[in-house]
Structure formats: structure tokens, C-alpha cells
Amino acid sequence: MSTTRFNWDKYFADAKWNDIYKNSPFFNYQRLPSLIHEKEGLIYLSSVDLAFSISHANNLNDIMPDIKLVFKNALQSKDYYKAAIASSDFYAIKNILSSQGMNNCDSLEDY
């Protein structure tokens, strides 16, 4: 149960990105998070530090093994933040590919 009545919704609505980035235990000056820019049709994948057009399914499919390798290496080195980002990127791409009718049956755990 929360001990305060702080209005987090208002805080996030008014906060500057740098304040959130600096104060978040998840970001804590890590690499920027992955983002989809719908208007431009782009996805930035933080795990590989690359951007792709979301309409180029083949390019997205081709980067999947690299993301799996980042995930595997992150787990081996116990960098769980990087592993979480790679996992998120992997499944974001799977979602995009699925919405384009490209059914990639690959799994992140198949490394």
C-alpha cells in the first residue's frame, strides 16, 4: 500500500525527459530505450543501437539473430538490464512482423 498521495500522472505529464531518465532506476544513465516513431515509420532498437523502417520486414527479420546474440551475451555476463532490452526489442520486432503477416516462429530462448 502506498504511503503517499503523490500525483505521479501529473508529475510524468509535466516532467522533462532528462529528469525521468536521470531519476529512473531502470534507465539510470543506460542506453536510451527502444522507441517506435509511428509518424516516421521507424523503430530504434536500443539493444543493437540501430534504427530500421518498420515497413522493411526483411531487414527487421535479418537483425533478429544479432538481437538474440546480444541477449545471450548479456545473460552470460549477468547484465540483466541489457538482456531485458534485447528481449523487449526481439518481441517488438516479432509483433511488427506479425502485423505484416510475416510469421516468424523463432523464439528468443532458442539460442
Amino acid at 90: F
pLDDT of residue 107: 81
User: pLDDT tens across 10-32, in order?
Assistant: 998 999 988 888 888 777 667 77
User: pLDDT tens across 91-102, in order?
Assistant: 999 999 999 888
Does residue 3 carry a pLDDT above 80?
A: no
User: pLDDT tens across 26-81, in order?
Assistant: 776 677 789 999 899 999 999 999 999 999 999 999 999 999 999 999 999 999 98
If you write DSSP's letter for every residue of 31-65 in order, what string do you get? SPPPEEETTTTEEEETTTTEEEETT-HHHHHHHHH
